Structure 1
Amino acid sequence: MPRTPGSLLPRSGLRLHRAWLVAAVTVLALVSAEVFRSTTGALFEPIETEFGWGRAQVSGAVTANLIIYGVVAPFAAVLLERFRPSRVAAAALLLIAAGSGLTTVMGSLWQLWVLWGGFVGVGAGALALVFGAVVANRWFTHRRGLVMGIFSAAGACGQLAFLPVIVNMAERHGWRTASLLVAAFALAIIPLLFWPFADSPASVGITPHGSDQTAPPAQHAGTEPAARRKNAALETFGVLREAIRHRAFWILALTFAVCGWTTNGLVQTHFLPATHDHGMPAGTAAGMLALIGIFDVIGTIASGWLTDRVSPWVLLVGYYSMRGVSLLTVHTVLGPSAEPPLWIFIIFYGLDWVATVPPTVALCRTYFGPRLATPVFGWVFAAHMIGAGAGAFAAGLLRESYGSYMIAWFTAAALCFLASVAMFFLPPAPSRSKAEG
């Protein structure tokens, strides 16, 4: 059987496009970047007990991580487009490994801020969903939405599904062992970035998955003419200056900020203390969060599949509406044990956790074209993390003021309904020729 562009193992009759191997490595890298988020909640109390630091002091390092994580994303998007993604990703994983591993020998609070906030924040920001967006846009012509759904699910899986593992390891073997596990996982992914990962189809002489074009000669990614190279920071802010002139950007950024508010900011940060208010054991609550992550894998992959078939803005109307409905019920379903109503919330909310990502990425491509889609999504993702930080702060403030999270849940639900309505104000999609610019 003759070799077809992009196929592997032609003699066996099995055609496996290299894009799927690249996607598999991307999933592992995204999971590795997000597993760290499982460690912060699990390591709060052990670190506080050993060093005598207060909750606000340790939380400050997490806040710095979230902010830096979000701010780095748009700059990483430009770097990933201009240079070899494999090298950018490898450097990011080294930073995550260093940030997590070096906490085992720290002795001062400022070191925790530098390691968690600086090292891990920059590394995870460079490997945020913008990395997945670059891979999906370069390697897939068809099924791009499905692949982006898989990448989105991988990030959420790393954040939530590993939480019970980290909690168990910290309790049995100490928090340092849990930190070293995260560092080792990050280091183990780096060799895979040099094979089977590849920077682009052109770099290995094949075409993207689903393309019927002839395979081009192999060439290196990130080697555009010098005339096109600009200062990365100037280019990143240039993308922002262009984007803010369009109504579509503001709607996508503000609604994605609501997504961050109602996921990373509210549920991921405050679900455990909220369950404690209702008398639920920490182990049970951690298991509930892990289940949200598992159901998110199903929901986000399904969302990617739907994004290839249904108008993305219609999906977002449904996702934000369903999330708003689910958040209205949280205060009434929480209790000392996991009763059936709570299980319904876990399943319903889990399916919708980051299902918003594939259609949001698709809309960035629709309104800004393939050249600007990833850097624009980088800024939209930054809005997501700013929303997450605002949501975390607001929920804590409301809990302190009223002694309950009820108003925080209702506020988040109202924001989801507003995000759903905002989708109706998106402008008409530009013509294909204009979008391709």
Structure 2
Amino acid sequence: MVRRVLILGGGFAGLYAARNIQKLMGHDVEIEVVNRENYFVFQPLLPEIAGGAISAINAVSPLRFLTKAISIRKAEIDSIDPVAQTVTVFQGVQRRPTILNYDDLVIAVGSGSNLSKTPGLSEHAFTMKTLSDAQRLRAHIIERLEHADITRLPEVKKGTLTFSVIGGGFSGVETVGEIKELIDRSLRYYPNICASEIRVVLLEFSERILSEMPESLAKYAHANLEKRGIEIQLGVGVVEATGTQLVTSADEVIDTRTIVATIGNTPSAIIANMPLHLQHGRILVDQDFRAKGYENIWSIGDCALIPMQENSGERENFAPPTAQFAVREAAHLAMNLKAASEQMPLKPFQYKSKGALASLGAGCGVAQVFGLKFTGRVAWLLWRVYYIAFLPGMQTRISVLWNWLMDGFSRRSVVQITAQNNSETRHVLYRAGDRIYENGSR
């Protein structure tokens, strides 16, 4: 009997789960992936999109190109019913409610951002979670340079040329490095802006950046960023944000028109209303990925709290929410799904990280691979080789590689592309008999 596997989410965990399940189970399974977008975005490349090193279209891959014999449904997930074994989604232009059945449900909806704890941050800060986030940030930076080049008000110019990034983890460090490189390589086009007028600030609440990496590599990254003119403030949090200022816990008021927040990671809001056991906002699962209390509901990736050993209590005893772990979880999930369908014992998930890499921009990086440490250009090249190999689909790999090669031999573009709405409202012409709204639509 063919089993129907429904996968919620088309990120690293969801995509690789679908591909691995199809590879292992073949014609014995019918797979459908539900995702809000019809593409897979390679999130580690978002800072490079924001910095203009690669174009946005080359960091995404259509899900339909990456999945063979797997159905793709572009829809918004609403709720699940474990008793009826159904999922309700809203799809189409009119967002009609549709009920999907499943034999096995895999929840891999990833994570989101919640900046509401800091007044003003959610209203005025950019995030780095989606493709549109990176595109908007790049357009905004170029707009700041355009404005600073023509303004005659010193106080306005000062705030316009101050760029603040909150969070010294991988995303924050890579984002601030790419922002600085984009600005440095663009100043030749703006004769009224001096390099000394640029202020780029990285704020980190802990006592060092890149806390996930060895201290020696974090110190190297810190020194490298400071050498390039990036101001790093450690042990400093954010108290309040407005459209023109950022107030820190050190009582400094930073005049800035650009705030990027790489903090506030939170599980996807989708799972909050699901009838599942949650812990710290994530789905609590067993070591075999089955959700607590269910035999046919599984969860992996950022939205799942996956114990790496029995009776895990400490944070380090749970699988970290990284792409490296998500891909390994997807492969292990496929094996357990196949074992469950054959009524065989399931295996607990065990995996040890092979290392970590971070790009600092300007051809420099830090890396730890199989216990070996690398810095500078060697680490930067390792970072690029690793992610080229990690990218799904040969077409995407070739496109990104070509972008990187061209970036090394050409100038960064300062073309500003923004989607503008000419009016908040618009007039629509209907004919008699046209269906405008359906009961249950959103």
State if a TM-score over 0.5 links the two structures.
no
Q: Given the two structures, how large is their TM-score scaled by the length of structure 1? A: 0.26
The structure carrying a bigger helix percent of its residues is 1
Higher relative contact order (CA 8 A, sep 6+): 1
**Structure number with larger C-alpha Rg:** 2
Q: Given the two structures, how large is their TM-score scaled by the length of structure 2? A: 0.26
